[in-house]
Amino acid sequence: MKKAVICAVFSKDRSEVLLVKRRDIPVWVLPGGGIDAEETPENACIREVLEESGLQISIERKVGEYTPINKLTSFTHLYEAKVIGGFISSSSETTAAAFFPVNALPKMMPPPHPEWIQDAQTKEFIQRKLDAITYALFFRMLCKHPMLIGKFIAMRIRLFLEEKSS
């Protein structure tokens, strides 16, 4: 099973959180992605934040681990980090990166990203199922946003084919 990392990078006063706007599916999300072979989750987190936002980070703590309940998600490690360098910029994977107030997040933010932000604001270690992403939600979103979900499906098919060929 492929594993992933997500990173919550807060401002110094913890009132804002770093989000990136994906290039493939134009929604605001926490930075993150797949863990490469022979890569630790911590190193994957540091790499993904740099690739997607231009910011260098140091890991503060592991917030939690999330287990998938279906094929729509991957086992995910959630970390909290702080900025130690770099400049916010877009990349080949993102069209924008910015800090948003935690109490005024963008409307087009898919689950479970808002929940992950809430989890990162607590101090306890969390282990739970990724039950916010269900097939029922997927089909509701398909009806509301067919172009976005079409792009998501195309991306998943491409990733599946890449995994099969390697």
CA–CA separation, 29 vs 100, rounded Å? 11
Q: Are strands 16-22 and 32-34 parallel, antiparallel or unpaired?
A: unpaired
Quote the CA–CA distance of 19 and 10 in Å, as a whole number: 10
The whole model's pTM is what? Answer: 0.82
| 23-77 pLDDT per residue, tens | 887 889 999 999 998 999 999 999 999 999 999 999 999 999 999 888 777 899 9
- Spatial distance between the Cα atoms of 152 and 130, rounded to a whole number of angstroms: 18
Per-residue pLDDT tens over the stretch 98-111: 999 999 999 878 88
* Fold (topology level) of 3-132: Nucleoside Triphosphate Pyrophosphohydrolase (3.90.79)
Residue type, 137: L
Residue 142: per-residue pLDDT: 62
How does pLDDT run across 3-22, given as a tens digit for each residue?
999 999 999 999 999 999 98
Q: Alpha carbon 48 to chain centroid distance?
A: 9
Domain boundaries, the chain: 3-132, 134-166
